[in-house]
Amino acid sequence: NRRIVLANRPRGLPTTQDVRLEETAVPMPDEGQVLLRTLYLSLDPYMRNLMDEAGTSYAPPVALGAPMVGGTVSRVAASRHPQFRVGEIVLGNAGWQDYVLSDGKDLQALGDMPQPSFALGGLGMPAFTAYVGLLDIGQPQAGETVVVAAATGAVGSVVGQIAKHKGARVVGIAGGADKCRHAVEELGFDVCLDRHAPGLAEQLAAACPDGIDVYFENVGGVVFDAVLPLLNIGARVPVCGVIAHYNGAEHTSGPDRLAQTMTALLQKRIRMQGFIILDHYGDRFETFSRDMSQWVAEGRVKLLEDVVDGLENAPTAFIGLLEGQNLGKRVVRVAAA
């Protein structure tokens, strides 16, 4: 039983030295427990926040020496729980390890979902985040301009496609020409700008001649600086994530932007709202699930998955995610289904 534990609290971008692979015995379930065999592990930006001492408002930090946390799709390998039988495929939170015991409380049976890893991406948490943030907070109207960065990532790729479906004009921002080509040619974005190319602010202004009505905030940093002057009166800004700041890299120095930001919010009557997707499962997940399954079946939304093989490769795959190497939802295939 391999597991990857947090060895050090990273400074800046994590390195492979910040985690450690350990071997332990496979545990045996007690009465009321199941033993889970991890098949797929989700890699998500929030894991970087949980490596810090402070953790987040919605989850405590990973303790030093403890396995890294994470959403998983697992097979029930042994069961002493009345609701779960051996062989069943379940969604849960086994973390970065081969095997784990569970009391079943946080497990959800996936039935015969054809591609169970989609429960971690295009039919699960990241796509649900895109749906709630865009539709409930962003509320794009037909003909409006929607901008989203990390446009070919797990959340952004779905934001752009739903916005197109709602009749908006969609401008993506992504890291690299290949990703941008993919966003336009495969996902149907109207325009996609490479954030590494010079002159992002000028290019964005040219790509948004009618200004920006909805900015779905995934990244912060220099992208937000480029967006702010283009926001229209009454613009909506769902604040989903600020990945540019998770490693403490951008904007540690430089001019204070607070006055400029507050003045724009005030004078343009902008509604900026943060949200944490965990709050919305009770009232919105079912509707999301129904809509999303339909849009995927109709070919309106394409699900992009970026699969890395082997638990031992999770650390480099995670660092790569923070550096923008992924195209679509990054998952680790830990064992064959």
Binding site for ligand NDP (CB under 6 A): 44-46, 126, 129, 149-150, 152-156, 174-175, 179, 195, 218-219, 221, 223, 240-241, 243-244, 275-277, 321-322, 324, 326
Closest contact distance (angstroms) between CB of 154 and ligand NDP is 3
57 CB-side CA count, 13 A: 6
The token pair at 239 is 């604040």
Q: Which residues contact 267 (CB under 8 A, 6 or more apart)?
A: none
Q: How far apart are CA 112 and CA 89, in angstroms?
A: 8
Nearer to ligand NDP, 140 or 156 (CB): 156
Closest contact distance (angstroms) between CB of 117 and ligand NDP is 14
Closest contact distance (angstroms) between CB of 43 and ligand NDP is 8
Of 144, 143, 138, nearest in space to 159 by CA = 138
Of 82, 2, 66, nearest in space to 38 by CA = 2
Nearer to ligand NDP, 36 or 150 (CB): 150
Closest contact distance (angstroms) between CB of 99 and ligand NDP is 25
CA-based torsion, 190, 191, 192, 195: positive or negative: negative
Closest contact distance (angstroms) between CB of 179 and ligand NDP is 5
Q: How far apart are CA 92 and CA 98, in angstroms?
A: 13
Nearer to ligand NDP, 26 or 278 (CB): 278
Closest contact distance (angstroms) between CB of 285 and ligand NDP is 13
Check if the beta carbon of residue 243 is closer than 8 Å to that of residue 219: yes
Nearer to ligand NDP, 78 or 151 (CB): 151
Three-state DSSP state, 194: strand
Closest contact distance (angstroms) between CB of 13 and ligand NDP is 10
Nearer to ligand NDP, 14 or 241 (CB): 241
Nearer to ligand NDP, 197 or 233 (CB): 197
Q: Which residues contact 244 (CB under 8 A, 6 or more apart)?
A: 219, 220, 221, 222, 223, 250, 251
Nearer to ligand NDP, 84 or 246 (CB): 246
| Angle made by CA atoms 322, 122, 112, in degrees to the nearest 5 | 130
